[in-house]
């Protein structure tokens, strides 16, 4: 069967994220098997390998694991920040009702899992991991939806994307506010000045990505020294990159003139010129986002998975930390997501997307329990080393696999009779959530 390119930018995005999810799964499996094989010593040695960078009298010496978690993941957070800004200004979150639904669902999907974990681990050594089960991995979640094909309403894919983006924003705030070390006020002040320079460049419409690249490296180094987690620099830089784009109306007029009788031979050349112009006319935010997406998909996230999914089972085993993470992601996520969305719809401030029912929303809530990338990242912040970190990562891996299987299975069951209209409500109607 002949294949063809997806028809819309959103469809291309979903297609790319599906592949990213598959790549993450493969890399995580390799890391897990490697860490529990006779060659586990080589795996540990790889993570502990130190790389040093010297510029003048300054020297930065970090292990390979820290370079990945503090350096490469800053690029991931830069992409997350760009996506958040785009969605807020011109995307799905620019619509008040859609944004309200995603925000309410994401808030419930963070508060309920975090609360469940905190209650289970209250007073124990693992209480600091309450932020671990709050995140959603968009690549995995959309990957599962892509496997189900056209039986899934487009509105559900859009909702899950918006939910994950709001969820990422919440995770960034949690990291910045609760998972930081002692602050270096001098470095923090210099970081603020650097961010101010980036914001000023964005306000003045500076379109050169090299300017933002240089400011971004300086900002990352200063945030790293400040006590905030270095990846926050990626989100801060994203907020400065402008999204405005120039108006190519003059070239469109030129193309129209070329299409007049007697000048048809110029049309092909002008079309190629216009194509080049539209490529250049993209805003700095769009250009940077498009440039980073394959880098993050094919390099940053797989390398992160390789460095962090290698959990040695015998080192810490399972405990209340693992149980809290699993219950938070598998039970707390769907309860929080569906509950938050239902309250928003019930209050009349939001509505379900077209052709999306509450049964679909339950499936989305279950898939939101796939916390892989961000949950593993927060695990590293909550528990730097030791058995508790192992328990947290095992909980994340177990819950993410189960959420993918259960969420996909639920949606497959719900949509198996979609042609007969079973389980579908009329557009604009609000049905109550299914009874437990």
Task: State how far the alpha carbon of 367 is from the alpha carbons of 169, 170, 180, 256, in Å.
Answer: 18, 18, 29, 49
State phi, psi for 101 to the nearest 5 degrees: -60, -45
Q: Is the pLDDT of residue 264 over 60?
A: no
Tell me what pLDDT residue 361 has. 95
Question: What residue ranges do the domains of the chain occupy?
Answer: 9-176+292-418
Q: Is the pLDDT of residue 259 over 70?
A: no
| 121-125 long-range Cβ contacts below 8 angstroms, 24+ apart | 121/320, 121/321, 121/324, 124/320, 125/388
Q: Is the pLDDT of residue 434 over 70?
A: no
Burial call 44-80: b when 16+ CB within 10 Å, e when fewer: eeebeeeeeeeeeeeebebbbbbbbbbbbbbbbbbbb
Q: Is the pLDDT of residue 240 over 50?
A: yes
List pLDDT tens digits, range 132-183.
Answer: 999 888 777 877 887 777 788 888 888 888 888 888 888 888 888 888 767 7
Task: State how far the alpha carbon of 276 is from the alpha carbons of 271, 283, 284, 359, in Å.
Answer: 9, 14, 16, 45
The two tokens of residue 45 are 């040695």
Q: What is the DSSP string of 362-385?
A: HHHHHHTT--HHHHHHHHHHH--S
The two tokens of residue 257 are 């003139």
Rounded to whole angstroms, the Cα distance separating 136 from 329 reads 9
Average pLDDT, the chain: 81
pTM over 0.85: no
The position carrying tokens 């933002």 is 212
CA 345 to chain centroid = 25
Task: State how far the alpha carbon of 163 is from the alpha carbons of 36, 71, 167, 368, 432, in Å.
Answer: 35, 26, 6, 8, 20
Nearest by Cα to 32 from 389, 405, 393, 300:
393
More confident residue, 198 or 83: 198
Rounded to whole angstroms, the Cα distance separating 200 from 159 reads 33
Q: Which fold has domain 9-176+292-418?
A: Na+/H+ antiporter like fold (1.20.1530)
Q: Is the pLDDT of residue 247 over 70?
A: no
Rounded to whole angstroms, the Cα distance separating 89 from 102 reads 15
List pLDDT tens digits, range 212-232.
Answer: 999 999 999 998 888 878 888
Q: Is the pLDDT of residue 427 over 60?
A: no
């Amino acid at each position: 069967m002949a294949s063809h390119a997806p028809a819309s930018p959103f469809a291309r995005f979903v297609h790319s994220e599906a592949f990213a999810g598959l790549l993450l799964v493969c890399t995580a499996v390799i890391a897990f098997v490697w860490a529990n094989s006779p060659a586990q010593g080589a795996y540990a040695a790889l993570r502990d390998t130190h790389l040093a960078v010297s510029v003048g009298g300054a020297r930065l010496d970090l292990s390979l694991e820290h370079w990945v978690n503090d350096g490469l993941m800053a690029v991931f957070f830069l992409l997350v920040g760009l996506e958040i800004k785009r969605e807020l200004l011109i995307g799905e979150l620019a619509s008040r009702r859609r944004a309200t639904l995603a925000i309410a669902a994401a808030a419930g999907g963070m508060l309920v899992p975090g609360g469940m974990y905190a209650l289970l681990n209250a007073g124990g050594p693992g209480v600091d991991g309450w932020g671990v089960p709050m995140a959603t991995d968009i690549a995995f979640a959309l990957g599962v939806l892509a496997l189900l094909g056209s039986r899934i309403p487009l509105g559900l894919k859009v909702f899950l994307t918006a939910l994950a983006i709001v969820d990422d924003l919440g995770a960034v705030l949690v990291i910045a506010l609760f998972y930081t070390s002692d602050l270096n006020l001098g470095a923090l002040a210099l970081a603020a000045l650097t961010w101010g320079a980036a914001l000023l460049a964005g306000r003045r419409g500076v379109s050169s990505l090299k300017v933002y690249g240089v400011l971004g490296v300086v900002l990352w180094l200063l945030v790293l020294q400040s006590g905030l987690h270095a990846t926050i620099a990626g989100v801060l830089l994203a907020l400065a990159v402008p999204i405005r784009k120039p108006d190519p109306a003059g070239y469109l007029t030129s193309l129209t003139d070329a299409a007049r009788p007697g000048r048809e031979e110029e049309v092909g050349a002008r079309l190629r010129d216009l194509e080049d112009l539209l490529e250049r006319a993209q805003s700095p935010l769009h250009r940077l986002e498009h440039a980073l997406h394959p880098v993050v998909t094919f390099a940053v996230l797989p390398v992160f998975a390789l460095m962090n999914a290698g959990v040695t089972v015998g080192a810490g085993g399972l405990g209340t930390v693992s149980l809290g993470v699993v219950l938070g992601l598998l039970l707390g996520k769907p309860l929080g997501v569906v509950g938050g969305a239902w309250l928003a719809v019930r209050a009349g401030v939001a509505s379900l997307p077209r052709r999306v029912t509450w049964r679909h929303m339950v499936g989305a809530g279950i898939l939101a329990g796939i916390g892989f990338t961000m949950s593993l990242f927060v695990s590293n912040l909550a528990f730097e080393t030791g058995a508790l970190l192992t328990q947290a990562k095992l909980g994340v891996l177990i819950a993410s696999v189960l959420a993918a299987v259960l969420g996909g299975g639920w949606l497959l069951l719900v949509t198996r009779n979609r042609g007969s209209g079973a389980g579908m409500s009329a557009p604009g109607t609000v049905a109550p959530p299914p009874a437990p």
